[in-house]
Structure 1
Amino acid sequence: MDNGDTRSDAELLSLSIEGDESAFFLLYERLKHNLFRYAYYMTGSKSTAEEITQDVFMTLLSKAGKYHEPQGDVAGFAFGIVKNLVRRIRRCENGFESLSAEESAVSPNLMADIDPVDAQLVRNELADQVQMAVASLPIHYREAVVLCDLCELSYSEAAARLRCSIGTVRSRLNRAHNVLARKLKPLQKTRTVGLREGCLI
């Protein structure tokens, strides 16, 4: 929680580089959830997502000199790092370990204070089916679902992260929802969670 702190992410990053631990902790709290969600749903592994999330912040500090505010926000800069780390892992591994019942439990250090929708998605009995359905999507569709439905970014924010047009994001999201509708149709009568209108997960 930021406790009403009005400093920008760019200010917090600058202070973090100077050794301000409280600024770094606040920046971490602001960004960690969406970075974790992206890594989790793109890899299918909670432990891998945790490692990636930690690596993002270490890389963020080491590469902070390359960040220039006019080029975009810190969250977007961090997303570029997490996307590259996920891509690197995908190149090195043929696949990711499926979520076991034990692994699907939410890690308290990364998921504390996470909003109820995403916590329930990971915890409830439908989590395995949902994760597999999302993981089965082509990567471009999966990214749109993760950013817009799970991280709840706006279309314009998602477009900036993915470096494509808003129309492209909308199109990918619509096609992804159509695919998920078919895959998750048997679960619709029992599902207990929902996100934005049109999202079936």
Structure 2
Amino acid sequence: MRERDDFWSLVEGSAAATDHPDGRLAWLIDRLAARPVPEVVDFAVRLDEARRRADTWPLWAAARRIRGGRCSDDGFHHFQAWLVGLGRQTFERVVADPDALADVPQVRRLAGRSPDDWAHHERPDWECLGYVADTAYERLTREPAGLDGSVGARGVQRGLLPDGSDDAEGLRDPAVFARRFPRLAGLFPLPGPVTGDVCQTATS
């Protein structure tokens, strides 16, 4: 589908333009605001489509391990956007096999370091990608919060928090996680006994 190809071209074009998250956001907003309004709506729809594909319990478990055991529903929502920001090829590979995150350079450089020591731009979190289309839409139409209505007219409900529809597969058990995701388990070993579930709901 042309709109899907265009979405990924924009995401990857922002990465080619600059490696700083804020710079990428500005680049995306400027490019979208130079397009017709329906194409801004397309971008929002495609982002939500990608989020839904990444909305699985195994991927949530992988994100939680990388983030030191802290990955709320909001945190996973932001992680999904960050995963999109890695580009189409990486996104497809990781959605198919979350253990492939162990091959991603942006993940590997976090290994062996406390999340408290990560720089802001290193965090596997790109919350603001979700606001790019809203900002461009408002710039074009002068209608604050108008994008939701345009997206809704296409039968899409935006901004839903993660709710994996698949089976959590016992991934809160460290032994199960290690069998399922051996490379991630090796990169991010547990410091001690794990408590709580893979799908925390308290905001971290």
Q: Which has the higher contact order (CA 8 A, sep 6+)?
A: 2
After TM superposition, the score normalised by the length of structure 2 is 0.34
Q: Which has the higher helix share?
A: 1
After TM superposition, the score normalised by the length of structure 1 is 0.34
